[in-house]
Amino acid sequence: MSPSAVAISAPGKVLFAGGFLVLDRKHTGLVFGLNARIHVRIEPWEQTLLELTGDCILVQSPQFLDARWLYKVSQTNSDEGCVLVEQVQSEVGFTTSANKFVETTLRYVLTYISQTTKDVGGNVQISILADDDYYSQSTQIIQRSGTAFSNFGVNLSEAHKTGLGSSAALVTSLAGALLAHYSSKSSADAALPHHTIHNLAQAAHCAAQGKVGSGFDVAAAVFGSCLYRRFSPTILEAIGEHTSPGFGKQLRLCVDDLDLERKWDVEVASHAVKIPDSLILVMCDVDCGSETPGMVRKVLQWHKEKSDEASLLWIALQKGQEELCQELRRLAEVEGIGEHGFKDLGDIILTIRSLVREMSTKSEVPVEPPVISELLDYCTSFSGVVGGVAPGAGGYDAVALLVKNDEEVIQELRDRLNGWKCSDDSGASIGNVRLLGVKQANEGIRREEVNQYSGWL
């Protein structure tokens, strides 16, 4: 075990183009990483107060109220089995509600490590910290002096997410931190095993959310901005449940890509598309949020029932995305052009939006709801705002805008959004709009300086 603390962070994401299409391997998604990150600090824990035998893990999220989970860790006798991670609810002072993403990630990563190094012993303390932009302005953010992180002042279950991919960033950074902590070769400058982290985080994240998703959010958390083609779901289906015989062996075969019948076929082109320096991606929070899994199920049901209609529309959306990528590449090669050089890019984004609205109508799913359409139209009416989309699965999460990289343009947008409101016939309304501080960033998972969190520990 590493004798000192380890800190890892991973970014959030925005699926700018390819929402829903990214569920199908025939299509791709354009994913931009963000500079909003989830940080995980892990270190040995010298606990002497608890009356527990065996190894324990304390997980705390100090920015929230009542966010201290205690887990007991034990290994099965079987070489092919899993490491048992059980939440302790009998000790006073610890959270009793479950944290499925943390617990599942602990179980998967520790099981994988036990299949390689065998040693996952010792008490461990894990601290999780999030940048402000993961949560809406309704959360009572209180800036703590001397630190880059804020006190959100509410229980985690009461915090309103902005839809930046916090669960994928959490699972990825936690997986990376655990691997680094238990590695015999861990050091401050040791390279992180990106592909191992990716495969392990994909497995844990899918298990925690109860389904095999497309995985673009985990890929962005590991590799940063990328053009993404999903992996075949059968790769993870072969692992089975953590309670099934041989789970540990199957997990290692999957993560290390040793299963000859189910090789990883994911495609992550991490430098395929770049936002030119003359533009900047910003996010506009509407403090509503969407239930993404439900929306996805409805769209996929429509695609199944009206396959010819849906396939033609998805092919058109894929073509629009390819034109978008081509135009972004062209702009990156001819930096220094004037504002009028962004017209073609704006027109491409408008075409993609019209196709998304057509999908909304035909599937009867609010991918770009009327209130979001009105917000995007309002924003893009300002000089310097090139275009915007309801990213990912759409709905009422934060919208993404491409704007001229000029502080005056950004400030004008911020000022004009202040107090802006709208509503539609469905009863949906937007009354609190805020330009988030988050920006596009290319970097994925990385090591962090461990001492920057001292004010929270």
Q: What pLDDT digit, counting tens, does each position of 326-346 carry?
A: 999 999 888 755 555 899 999
Span 394-423, average pLDDT:
90
Question: Cα(367)–Cα(373) distance, rounded to whole angstroms?
Answer: 10
Q: Which two tokens stand for residue 456?
A: 């929270």
- Exposed, middle or buried: residue 184 (CB in 10 Å: 0-12, 13-18, 19+)? exposed
Q: Quote the pLDDT of residue 143.
A: 63
- 129 lies in a domain? yes
Span 195-224, average pLDDT:
95
User: At residue 137, does pLDDT exceed 70?
Assistant: no
Residues 298 and 380 in one domain: yes
- 446 lies in a domain? no
Span 212-241, average pLDDT:
94
Residues 239 and 354 in one domain: no
- 104 lies in a domain? yes
Q: Find out whether 141 and 151 touch, Cβ atoms under 8 Å.
A: yes
Residues 214 and 360 in one domain: no
Residues 245 and 313 in one domain: no
User: At residue 375, does pLDDT exceed 90?
Assistant: yes
Q: Quote the pLDDT of residue 410.
A: 94
Residues 170 and 312 in one domain: no
Q: Find out whether 394 and 357 touch, Cβ atoms under 8 Å.
A: no
Residues 232 and 316 in one domain: no
What CATH number is attached to the domain comprising 332?
A: 3.30.70.890
Q: Which two tokens stand for residue 168?
A: 């994928």
Span 344-349, average pLDDT:
97
Span 135-139, average pLDDT:
65
Structural domain including 114 reads: 6-270+451-456
Residues 215 and 117 in one domain: yes
Neighbours of 150 (CB within 10 A): 18
Span 266-279, average pLDDT:
91
Residues 110 and 172 in one domain: yes
Q: Quote the pLDDT of residue 222.
A: 98
- 1 lies in a domain? no
Q: Quote the pLDDT of residue 282.
A: 94
User: At residue 29, does pLDDT exceed 70?
Assistant: yes
User: At residue 27, does pLDDT exceed 70?
Assistant: yes
Residues 231 and 137 in one domain: yes
Q: How confident is the model at residue 89 (pLDDT cuts 50, 70, 90)?
A: confident
Burial 11-27 (b: 16+ CB within 10 A, else e): bbbbbbbbbbbbbbeeb
Q: Which residues pair with 129 in a beta bridge?
A: 39
Question: Cα(174)–Cα(248) distance, rounded to whole angstroms?
Answer: 19
Q: Find out whether 112 and 251 touch, Cβ atoms under 8 Å.
A: yes
Q: How confident is the model at residue 418 (pLDDT cuts 50, 70, 90)?
A: confident
Question: Cα(126)–Cα(442) distance, rounded to whole angstroms?
Answer: 26
Residues 233 and 334 in one domain: no
Q: Quote the pLDDT of residue 2.
A: 43
How far is CA 339 from its chain centroid?
A: 32
Total domains, the chain? 2
Q: Quote the pLDDT of residue 433.
A: 84
User: At residue 207, does pLDDT exceed 90?
Assistant: yes
Residues 211 and 119 in one domain: yes
Neighbours of 367 (CB within 10 A): 23
Residues 221 and 319 in one domain: no
Q: Quote the pLDDT of residue 158.
A: 87
Q: Which amino acid is at 332?
A: A
- Virtual CA dihedral for 207, 228, 232, 8, nearest 10 degrees? -30
Span 81-107, average pLDDT:
91
Q: Angle between the 216-223 and 166-182 helix axes, to the nearest 10 degrees?
A: 50
**pLDDT above 90 covers what percent of the chain?**
63
Question: Across the chain, what does the average pLDDT equal?
Answer: 89
**pTM, whole model, 2 decimals?**
0.92
Q: How confident is the model at residue 231 (pLDDT cuts 50, 70, 90)?
A: very high
- 444 lies in a domain? no
Q: Quote the pLDDT of residue 173.
A: 98
Q: Find out whether 202 and 231 touch, Cβ atoms under 8 Å.
A: yes
Question: Cα(183)–Cα(208) distance, rounded to whole angstroms?
Answer: 24
